[in-house]
Structures are given as C-alpha cells and as structure tokens.
Structure 1
Amino acid sequence: MKNNRIVDHPILGKLERRKTIHFTFDGNTYQGFEGETIAAALLANGIRKLRVQEEANTPRGIYCNIGHCFECRVTVNQKPGIRSCLVEIENDMVVESGKLQPSPLKKQHQDDALPKTYAEFIEKTGETKGAHDHA
C-alpha cells in the first residue's frame, strides 16, 4: 500500500506511532492514523483528486487545507459536502469523492431560461400587466 507520509522529518524528528485505522474511499480500503484528517489520510495514500468542479467537471483536491476554500468536499457516511481537511478519519468511515452535481446556474433547456426583463416575461408568458388583478 502506498504511503506518502513523512515519517522521519529532518527537523521535527520521527512521527509518533499512532493507532492504525481503516476507512474506505470510493469503495477501496485504506489505512490512516488516529487523529489524522480525511484529507491527510487520502494524500498519504496517494489520492489527490477528491471531487469534480460543478461547472467544468475538472478535478479538485486539497487547496487551502484550513477549511476556507471548500475545494476538498467529500461525502462522509452518506453526508455530502464535508470538508475533508477539517474532519478526522474514524475506523470504518465510508468516504466518497464529491460527484458532479447539477448546477443551479446552468439552464438545462433553452425554455428553462428565466426572463431578464419584463418585456421578455410578457413575450414568454403572453401575460400583460394587471392580468392577475381583480377589480
């Protein structure tokens, strides 16, 4: 199993021995250390792609590693949108990569476009001002 951890740092010394735990990512089982974040455990196991960007479908991974950017969102135990850099792994945790989600900003069909002006609204719906007013 691939291990990209620095276990003997030239300045900080040797990494303390910690309890090894097992978790899954996208159906594969990996090892991590107790107290390690999901992001750190995945990176140590050679995994850099954590999700895809909603609009462009481009890969995303760890960016800021302090919880500000939301690039490292994954699904944890069926709960989506978890920032992997802030959550510690747990034994038997099920982590899934962030999948491409439909964007609320992207229209699915030409007819789904909302009118930008009142004139476009009239043209699209055929309604006129005061059509719903009752005297």
Structure 2
Amino acid sequence: MTGSNAGQFIRLGETHRAQIEIRIDGESVPCLAGDTLLTAMLLNGRLLRHSEFGDGPRAGFCNMGACQDCWLSLGSGERVRACTTEVRSGMVVLTREAS
C-alpha cells in the first residue's frame, strides 16, 4: 500500500500464512490467517474506534487483553477484544454503534 491507504504498521514476517478477508464497517479488508483483529486493522491503516468518553480515536494500548481499550462489536452482536481475537474469514466487524 502507498499514499493515504498505507497502514500504520508494515508486515515484515510471517507472510506465508493464507490470506483471508474480513469486513470492517462494510469495507473488505485483507489479512492473514492467525492475525489478531488488532493486527489486521492497524496493518490496513485503521483506528480501532472512537472513545465513547469523547477523548478521541483509539488504537489499542496494552496488546494483551488487560487494558480494556480495544473492545469492538462483531456483526453478530458479540463484543470482543481486538488484541486477543483471531480473525476468521468472513468476520464482520463494527467500529461504531449502529445508528
């Protein structure tokens, strides 16, 4: 990726894993089997969510499931931590509440 579509992170290794696709807020996003949801989002230049307390965009914090900063909703309504949830092909992710 280049320009404004460049991710915040760049994958340097483990490129041999199978490529899969998930949907984030209706947009198709490529990732690799075994990635966490946090990894997939940051590699694709996405923030995780906007704070419900009005203090701006969030991109995770501890990366190990302790800080509670990366909760997202799946299309099924289930809430998951992006840093500890492995992507699944066809996964539907919502970064904001349905309006």
User: What is the TM-score with the length of structure 1 in the denominator?
Assistant: 0.61
Unaligned runs of 5+ in 2: none
Superposed CA RMSD? 2.1
AA in 1 matched with 2:19: T
1:52 maps to 50
Larger RCO (CA under 8 A, 6+ residues apart): 2
- Report if aligned partners of 1:38, 1:88 keep a CA contact under 8 Å in 2: yes
1:32 maps to 31
- Report if aligned partners of 1:51, 1:99 keep a CA contact under 8 Å in 2: no
- The DSSP-based 3-state class of the residue aligned with 1:79 is coil
Q: Distance in 2 between matches of 1:5 and 1:78?
A: 30
1:20 maps to 19
Task: Give the ranges of 4+ consecutive aligned residues of structure 1 lying more than 3 Å apart after TM superposition.
Answer: 1-4
Counterparts of 1:1-135 in structure 2, within 5 Å, are 1=1, 2=6, 4-7=9-12, 14-47=13-46, 49-56=47-54, 58-99=56-97
Q: Distance in 2 between matches of 1:82 and 1:29?
A: 19
User: What is the TM-score with the length of structure 2 in the denominator?
Assistant: 0.80
Deviation by residue 1:10-39 (Cα, 9 ceiling, x = unmatched): xxxx43401000001111101000011000
Unaligned runs of 5+ in 1: 8-13, 101-135
Q: Return the offset for 1:83.
A: 0.5
Q: Return the offset for 1:78.
A: 2.8
Q: Return the offset for 1:59.
A: 1.6
Q: Return the offset for 1:79.
A: 2.2
Identity %: 29
Number of residues paired by the alignment? 93
